[in-house]
Every structure is written in C-alpha cells, then in structure tokens.
Amino acid sequence: MKTVKRKFIIGEENIRLNKINNFQVTRYFNPNHFNLEDKLNLHFDYSEWLGAEYIRILAIYFDTSKSMEAYEGIEFTEEYKLPFPEEGITKTNALSISLKLKEDSKLLWKIAIQIRQDYNTLIHLTVS
C-alpha cells in the first residue's frame, strides 16, 4: 500500500494555477495548525496574469455522524464564486471569504481553489 502525501493549507502561500494542475489546487485543513475560533478567513490580495472570470472556492466538509458501513454520504460541499477583477487582484481590491470550521457534526477538512477560464495565474493567499 502506498502512502498519500497531503498538502495542508498554511498561513501564507503563492498558489500557481496552470495547465499542469488543471487550473486547480486542493489543500487539506488541520485546525491544530491555526488558532481559530469558528471561521477560516481566506484573503486573496495579489495576482499575476489576467483574464480569469472568477475564483471558485469549494469547501469540503466531513460528516462525523455518518457511517461508511451504512453507505451514507460522508462528504458535503459548499461552493463560492468570487468575481476576478479585470485589472487583477491588488491590495486595494483584495478578495476575502470566510468558511465555517464546523457546522453540527460536519468539520471542514479540504479546500479546493480553481479558476475559470483557463489562464495561467499566480494568486497570493493569506489565511487568518
């Protein structure tokens, strides 16, 4: 059996979206890496290259009350679309989104970031 290496979201990183990664990245979330109360804030404050229509954020939650043996769905998603500014993302028109860490028995465990249309893009992400 081969181990799976997961990339976890960190406090600050440059995210490159290009043809190699199909214009999307996925980061896992570990609440022990942060000192947060009930929300995870994602701030996009810089970008290189223009042309994307929007940034799609997909928050994936794991439901701890469900059972795999009963064939119940254990993953739930919330989708957000942030319009990409024509002039690109700068400090003056930064984009932000808040994701719930927990809702009932559902825990945030994965975040997917995508752009559409397919343009090579570098986005700076800060987490708080």
CATH number of the CATH domain containing 84: 2.60.120
Question: At 91, is the pLDDT very low, low, confident or very high (cuts 50, 70, 90)?
Answer: confident
Q: Is residue 6 part of a domain?
A: no
Burial 40-70 (b: 16+ CB within 10 A, else e): bebbbbbbeeeebeebbbebbbebeebeeee
**Nearby residues of 28 by Cβ (< 8 Å), 6 or more positions away:** 6, 7, 8, 9, 109, 110, 111
- pTM confidence score: 0.84
Establish if 57 belongs to a structural domain: yes
User: Which residue range(s) make up the domain with 123?
Assistant: 12-127
In this structure, is residue 112 part of a structural domain? yes
Asked whether residue 3 is domain-assigned, the answer is no
Question: Looking at residue 36, what is its pLDDT?
Answer: 81
Q: Let me know if residue 34 belongs to a domain.
A: yes
Q: Where does the pLDDT of residue 50 fall: very low under 50, low under 70, confident under 90, or very high at 90 and above? A: low
Q: How many domains in the chain?
A: 1
Answer whether residue 111 shows pLDDT above 90: yes
Position 73 pLDDT exceeds 90: no
> Does 120 map to a domain?
yes
Q: Pick from 57, 5, 51, 6: which is nearest to 28 by CA?
A: 6
